[in-house]
Amino acid sequence: MPRKKTQKRIYLDYAAAMPVDPRVFAAMKRYFSGAFGNASSIHREGVEAKRALGSARETAASAIGAHADEIIFTSGGTESNNLAIFGAARAKEKTGAPLSQMHFITSTIEHPSVLDCMTSLLRRGAMVTYIGVSEEGIIDPKEVREALCERTVLVSIGYGNGEIGVIQPIREIAKEVRQAASVKKFQKPFFHTDASQAFAYLPCDVTQLGVDLMTLDAQKIYGPKGMSALFRRRGVLISRLFEGGGQEGGLRPGTENVPLVVGFAKAVELLLPVREKEAKRLEKLAAYTRENICARIPEALVNGSIENRLPNNVSISIPGLDGEFLALALDARGIAVGTGSACLLATGDTSYVIRALGFDAKHALGTLRLSFGRTTKKRDIDMLVQALSEVISIQKRVSH
């Protein structure tokens, strides 16, 4: 009897994790076993590793209009965000300023790795201002300006939201921060943005954006997990979080993970020539997805701005239904989707991002995040819409 052909799975959760590009994997392999030296060693093997590290740093810096010495490699986006926020606070403490005299600004829809840092600072006596968003998920730059004061150490606003895909006006916020400091005559606070989700689709030139610190994540550009870069503009003072060595300009001690750094650089190299074309393709695919879902499922609501959003993101809510049930039902049919930030799901809570838009818990509970990548095609969307319609009908029958 012939074996039944297995249906190919459809993966629509690229915002959570992307596969490593085979060309990236190929570039990394040599540094796991062949060129395995420690980049801090002075022998031939160490020199080769150090050369690869330096080349990767140049590649990452060039991609964002930075200098090589402004790139700090870390273990992931979460660590880079922690280093930017806690690093700025620790550097300020070293000048004699207590945390109780420090002020930080962020938004209500940031990634948990930013919000949890702010919560920690708040508990230790710092002041934190949380800027709200409009119904479309957009921050008003003027609200950031109004919140600034002479005690403000750092502003941290993400470039592209990983859950609803909304793009924030980073350049305008940076301008407001500069002007407010000039007019109010206090030292300009550092401005940090997490561009982990944005880098795959948007230009991230640090001079044009006007940022002092920026997080990039390899796994969001078809690179390896566990590798990130933090851009730190020259003259920006941050202190390291760990002790144990002088690597990464003394800001991130520990033996450098050369294979992953090389993989990150290769992913950057492959990204830049195709980024704009791929963004346009995915933008059309996202519009096609929204139109078809809303036509087949009238009760479905799109979360966040349509105009100002990452091209690979479609966030929908179906109030009254359980997004987790829908995701599991789709998974059983061979379709992988998300229900929100993967880091948030670990807490078991409903989405604070959706609730920040002004919606209630039922709306948040019924949310699905669809995020696309290089392999996503129209036929995948057609199959998704058909399957989603079917599982919604099943859940409605069960609930009634």
Q: Which residues belong to the active site?
A: 343
- Rounded CA-CA distance 30/72 in Å is 22
Which of 332-335's residues contact partners 24+ apart within 8 Å by CB, and which partners? 333/387, 333/391, 334/7, 334/8, 334/9, 334/10, 335/9, 335/10, 335/12, 335/383, 335/384, 335/387
Q: What are the angstrom distances between the C-alpha of 384 and each of 62, 202, 237, 282?
A: 39, 27, 48, 16
Q: What are the angstrom distances between the C-alpha of 311 and each of 162, 278, 282, 287, 392?
A: 12, 9, 5, 9, 26
Q: What are the angstrom distances between the C-alpha of 363 and each of 91, 124, 227, 360?
A: 42, 34, 34, 5
Please give the structure tokens belonging to residue 239: 């202190």
- Rounded CA-CA distance 187/185 in Å is 7
What does DSSP say about strands 213-217 and 228-232: parallel, antiparallel, or unpaired?
Answer: antiparallel
